[in-house]
Structure 1
Amino acid sequence: MTPGNASFVTEFILLGLTNLPYLQLPLFCLFLLMYVATVLGNMCLITLIGLNSHLHTPMYFFLFNLSFIDLCYSSVFTPKMLTNFISKNIISYRGCMTQLYFLCFFGISEAYVLTSMAYDRYVAICNPLLYNVVMSSKVCSSLMFGSYLMAFSGATAHTGCMLRLTFCDANTVNHYLCDILPLLRLSCTSTYMNELVVFIVAGINVIVPSVTIFVSYGFILSSILRISSTEGKSKAFSTCSSHIVALSLFFGSGAFMYLQPSSAMSMDEGKISSVFYTNVVPLMNPFIYSLRNKDIKCAVRKTSSKQVLIRNRVIYVVCYTEADSVCLNKIH
């Protein structure tokens, strides 16, 4: 359709996760609880790592960035998603493109941060004596810079290709967010170039990290099997198990969504897959990395002790100022 004959779209309607009325309220409550837990969990990790100097190590540097990305990632689309459960969800064209850009940016960032964490575990287990040299602050910063650079490149490529498309009368997106594949189905111009870019960019950003992770864990497994003590093997496996769970959830759902022809997958399947990498993964990461982590538990105890100490000092100052000996006795 030529521009002169087209009625161009200025806003999109997001259909949401389901159109069944009796599921709207339960799903709203479920995803609201998930979002609150995601925000609190990631904020707690960010705060703990920032306040405790013994957590200022490469492993927790990457975990700090992962929590920041998950916090931003879930906030890109969840508020709109929650709105859709209780009212008709309309998003402007610019808002949709902005959401698409940040969805791609934080999604690709997470893939490379998880890859950096796998490399960190490889160095820690396979070359423990050289760990501080190999994983220097400069190397860690370079890995994070590379992660954000790849994310910027991928998000710019996807969004730039989407901006060149023409959307005519159809403006109903069969999804709860402005994702690439649902938008491509609304275009009234050729999407061949977009699908090619999706396949190339998604392929690079899934296959390259996946291969790096598999190679890293291949060496890790080889090193673990050479450990003679059962306790040492158990400790090494425990160190890697949480990361493997997070990797499986994120890359598995992402590959299912993007690494197949759009015609081979229904949008209902795509929505279910999207829930995993957009909602479940940011929610689970703080729990995966903290529940069995002794350093995090220690940091929680130290932070709690500091808060109690600060509170008691404040009371002491107030009591001392007011010369209230009874109050001082209550503190002890």
Structure 2
Amino acid sequence: MVHKLCLLSLQVFKSSQEALKHRRIILLGKTGVGKSSLANTLFGEQVFPPDHSASSGTKECKSATRSVDGRTLTLIDTPGLFDTDLSEDELRPKIMNCITECAPGPHAFLILLRVDKYTRQEQEIITQICRSFSEDALKFSVIVFTHGNQLREGMTIMNFVNQKEDLKELVKKCGGRCHVFDNDHWKNDQPNNYRSNAFQCEQLLKTIDKLVRRKKGCHYTNDMLYHIGQEIHREEVRISKLRPATQPMTPEQITQEAKSIVSQKFLIKLAAATTGALLGVFFGVRINNNVSTVYSFIIVLCSILHPPQTLRRCCSANNTM
């Protein structure tokens, strides 16, 4: 009996250790900023179609998981949630897909901005980020600049940030976490060269590791992400039970089908919600009555579909930077 208990304890310990090494990371930014290319750079292989222009950017939320330097990375590549040229009807399903894809919550948000196109539109995006992200969400965020080759020789990204007050304030709200890449020009493998993706990859992953340790392994979450995560789990169980033995599905296929069902279910119920309200709920900000209504409705809907049991949250996000 003691031997069996020891084996069980060892299995639980190994499972816990594996969970601590897993990182769910969501990449956010305008279409064409380089989210897919950065994901490929971090993976060391082309997993997502590169987004060299606004027209070729990610159209739907996609995720992939790979092992990188002893870590299990799940990168969630998002469409341009902060694009100003998309209608409410176009943006709403994209936001809902992102919410279900990253539930029960990401370990880090990577907010991407371009070094070479710091225009008024870029400034408006920063304003929108500050308005949409709660303090808790920013505590899990890292600012990542792309097109770093546009930096003057010898200039670091913090030198660049400190020249612009709004950028400086945003990076400060994110705990000073800031990195820079160039997916086209910094492809050399010199790990000690600042203007090298190899160097920046190592530094970014260390930053995320440090962030996870400070949060004691916990991910960002809120009531909405928690409830949607629970709903996805219930769908996975339902699909597994109903699926005939002659038509087996892999666990990954079951999860993706469950996420798709949950996303569509909530999208229908939240058809009248504004995209601003959905973004606010996703990032933990109740900026107006509409956000509060959406936030409350999601929780009530989950409660109606499945009466809540004891609420177990991963951790409170209210930790230090």
- TM normalised by structure 1 equals 0.25
Q: Which has the larger radius of gyration?
A: 1
Structure 1 or 2: larger strand share? 2
Larger RCO (alpha carbons 8 Å, 6+ apart): 1
- TM normalised by structure 2 equals 0.26
Structure 1 or 2: larger helix share? 1
